[in-house]
Structure 1
Amino acid sequence: MSKTLTICHLVRAPIGGIFRHIADLAAAQVKQGHRVGIICDSLTGGDYEAEHIARLQEILPLGVTRIAMPRAVGPGDVIALMKVALQLRKHQPDVLHCHGSKGGLFGRLVKGLRLLPQSTKVFYAPHGGSLHYDPNSRQGKFYFPAERFLERWTASLIHASDYERKTYVTKVGQPRTAAIVAHNGIAEAELDAVRCDKDAKDFLYIGMLRDLKGVDLFIKALSQMNKIETTSALIVGDGDDVDKARYAQMVEDYGLQQQVQFFPSMPARQAFAKAKAIVVPSRAESLPYIVLEAAGAKLPMVVTNVGGIPEIFGEKTPELVAPDVSQLAEAMTMLKRKNYKLPRTAWLHLQVSQNFSIKVMEGCVMQAYRDALAE
């Protein structure tokens, strides 16, 4: 694309894989000569996220603007929406790329309220988001009709996995706008193997601290294993204070205080060195970065068979298990007994290096922009 574009990324929570995706994509777009900025929540994240955002401030021409965006839908959304609209009117973007449920809601409402230039094209990447809800749940009955309504102000849907694309069709309906799949990708530097420290723990969980991510399943699986043999673990990440306190209480209730340590968010490869294997116990996913990052680092994994994860493993999925305490404990026990060696670790590393790069991801997204702007 020869024209220099003004691109704004809008998301609520600047944490986890969703923000990793935005940061990588924004940095790649800046390297292509575009004017890029990010708008995100000011209420979420810890010191690690603050440092990450500070680094982004230095490289993004439009910087990072933080606005209070409550997670739950409520009256505070009206104030947040108006602040987002004012910031977007200041930037006058050619492209508004919305990420996650709230980012998608705010961005497309701003377009629908005609608070953006008519020429601005709005893109929406669910990143799982509302698509995780059951259609028959209270949330599903609210979000899915809303997703359908908001399509009218959507130039294209950008899915992180084919699983997410199919889920959208099943729960929302066949989209009345363009839709593409742009798999998440990692950098070449992340394809170097990570050596574990001499005092490395047995297992690592790293990510958002939510039941959706299976943190409770991981703790319960560790409890089962420790009834047979001592097994150590690290839990690295951040979440709501209520959830963090609940998981700490679970560890205490199961008598695992000596076996399980909590750490705040840190770079994934730094965390990888602290354990012999990683566990991804999610109940739902789109296409998680942590699996790509662990594969790039040649770290042995126990991973649940949910969402778009099988798209990373291809046809070779025997290591994948159900998000079930007993199955997780069994798979972790087997891996420990095999001295943390899996035969397909090298194959998976090659699969990720060839098919899941930032360059490929950015190319897919920019092509979606080109197609919409050419209309």
Structure 2
Amino acid sequence: MPLKIIHVFRAPIGGLFRHVLDLVDGQVARGHRVGIIADSMTGGERADEIFAALAPKLSLGLTRIPMRRPLNPTDLSATRHVARRINETNADVIHGHGAKGGAYARLAFPRNQVLRAYTPHGGSLLLNHDNLSGRMYLMLEKMLLARRALYLFESAYSGDIFREKIGTPNGMVRVIHNGVSTNEFEPVAPARDATDLVFMGEFRAVKGINILIDAIALLHVRDRKVTATLVGSGPDEAELSAHVERLSLQDSVRLMPAMPARHVLTLGKVMVIPSFAESLPYVVLETAAAGMPLITTNVGGIPEIYGPLSDALVPPGNVEALADAIERTLANPAAAAKLAQDLRARVAASFSQDGMVDGVLSAYRQALGDTSAATSHALVQRR
């Protein structure tokens, strides 16, 4: 029997947006009726274009309303809007993504019975108790545990961190890895003006981009004139540009706006993702699927992607270790290509988009029909 599913999330950017789009496409293709509630203030023209193309598939509609990242009085109206959409559509599932989407999904009080599902996507999991802001948001997450829900984690790491920082989820828990589609396994060829390295992601501190810039500067000191393209957008864009200038790397490092991942992969010969924290990043899966050499850090769920290849991961925040890894990779393209092909085979075997969609739908079905879910806290479906 088809389900009526509404996805709610704040920012239509990055891996969270990709995850929701993949779920929506897969759920619609399997005959379910789907709707979306998203922020109206972020995403820019690219999000507008994507939503315009997607809207005809959304039989439960698309609404965009203001959703601010910090706590804000508009959160009350947003929560009421979610409840109203549930009532209007008689939805079976309200699936919140990220801290804000998850809060709205769990706080809404519709007249209709609905399954509440929550995928954290990092969000509050990146915060800590060592500062006031972090303590406040983690406390709010802990309070929301009172609202029973289906918890869907992208990685076993995220599930473990959630329990460590917030507590034991009140409801059924599943770990369902992100996945990529079959067409993403087509190889990509570097553009004629491709730089040695390329980065793709949000321009913010947790992504470790300053560490990459410092590593490039160190390689220049070693007389290895490495070039790089940094692709994305975010709050730290001006600071990153200034950092490049401070190190006199303007001729070697270029910043470019966000664009489709497959095009980004052509802009460099080696992808570098120097993050301090991640859940299960799509950029790693996308790069691996394309068979492109990749350098990334030993954080979050990335070791779950690499598995037995995890010795190749770099410690986060270590400029010298990152510079050494870049130098080794560029100096030995055959070894880099071998590692890339081994990682590609692992992703093909264990991280499929179809598997992700089917896993989420199976979890919905089980939670809707399992009256004993409140006592089920085991992380299952680990790959």
**Normalised-by-shorter TM-score class:** over 0.9
Q: Structure 1, unaligned stretches of length 5 or more?
A: none
1-structure distance, mates of 2:2, 2:233 = 37
- Write the deviation string for residues 139-169 of structure 1: whole angstroms up to 9, x where unpaired: 3322333223222323310000000111111
RMSD (Å), alpha carbons: 1.6
Aligned counterparts, 1:129-140, within 5 A: 129-140=123-134
SS at match of 1:208: coil
1:198 aligns with 2:196: no
Secondary structure of the corresponding residue to residue 229 of structure 1: coil
SS of the residue corresponding to residue 46 of structure 2 reads helix
Question: In 2, Cα distance between the equivalents of 1:304 and 1:139?
Answer: 26
| Greater alpha carbon shift after TM alignment, 247-256 vs 28-37 | 247-256
Separation in structure 2 between the aligned mates of residue 328 and residue 105 of structure 1, nearest angstrom: 37
Q: Secondary structure at the match of 2:218?
A: helix
Please, which runs of 5 or more residues in structure 2 have no aligned partner? 372-383
Using the alignment, how far apart are the partners of 1:235 and 1:26 within structure 2?
Answer: 29
Distance in 2 (CA, whole Å) between partners of 1:276 and 1:95 is 42
* Structure 1 residue aligned with 2:38: 40
The residue aligned with 1:288 is 281
Q: Distance in 1 between matches of 2:84 and 2:242?
A: 43
* Per-residue deviation, residues 83-120 of structure 1 (Å, max 9, x unmatched): 3333343333110000000111111111xxx2251x20
Alignment-derived partner of residue 175 in structure 2: 181
Counterpart mapping for 1:287-326 below 5 A? 287-323=280-316, 324-326=318-320
Contact (CA 8 Å) 2:293, 2:339: kept in 1 or not? no
1:348 positional shift? 0.8
Correspondent of 2:231 among 236, 240, 251: 236
Question: 2-side partners of 1:51 and 1:154: how far apart?
Answer: 35
1:7–1:36 Cα contact (<8 Å) kept: yes
Judge conservation of contact 1:9–1:22 (CA < 8 Å) in 2: yes
Compute the displacement of 1:340 (Å).
Answer: 7.1
Measure the CA separation in 2 of the matches of 1:292 and 1:116: 40
- Give the counterpart of 1:103 among 62, 82, 101: 101
Distance 1:369 1:215 in 2: 37
Counterpart Cα distance in 2 of 1:254 and 1:89: 56
Q: Percent identity?
A: 40
Q: TM-score, normalised by structure 1?
A: 0.94
Where do residues 18-37 of structure 1 align in structure 2 (5 Å cutoff)? 18-37=16-35
Who is 1:171 aligned against?
165
The reply on whether 1:149 has 2:143 as its aligned counterpart is yes
**What CA distance in whole angstroms lies between the structure 2 residues aligned with 1:140 and 1:249?**
28
- 1:264 has 2:281 as partner: no
**Partner secondary structure for residue 278 of structure 1:** strand
Instruction: Compare 224-233 and 97-106 and name the one that shifted more.
Output: 224-233
* 2:73 aligned residue (63, 70, 75): 75
Residue of structure 1 in register with 2:212 after alignment:
218
CA contact (8 A) 1:98 1:124 kept: yes
Matching residue of 1:159? 153
| Structure-2 change in CA distance of 1:362 and 1:102 (3 Å) | same
Q: Is the 8 A contact 2:106 2:149 kept in 1?
A: no
Comparing 132-141 with 295-304, greater Cα deviation is found at: 132-141
Moved more, 79-88 or 204-213: 79-88
Q: Could you tell me whether the CA contact under 8 Å between 1:92 and 1:116 is conserved in 2? A: no
Q: TM-score, normalised by structure 2?
A: 0.92
In the aligned structure 1, how far is the partner of 2:127 from the partner of 2:14?
A: 19
The SS at the match of 1:307 is coil
Is residue 364 of structure 2 the alignment partner of residue 366 of structure 1? no
Q: Which moved more, 1:318-327 or 1:290-299?
A: 318-327
CA distance in 2, matches of 1:224, 1:186: 35
Q: Name the CA distance, whole Å, in 1 between partners of 2:84 and 2:252.
A: 49
Given residue 62 of structure 1, which amino acid in structure 2 is its aligned partner? L
One-letter code aligned to 2:45:
D
Aligned-partner Cα distance in 1 for 2:311–2:211: 20
Q: CA deviation at 1:301?
A: 0.7
Structure 1 counterpart of 2:52 = 54
Q: Distance in 1 between matches of 2:312 and 2:262?
A: 22
Work out the number of aligned pairs and report it. Answer: 367
**d(CA) in 2 for partners of 1:293, 1:205:** 13
Q: Is residue 10 from structure 1 mapped to residue 8 from structure 2 by the alignment? A: yes
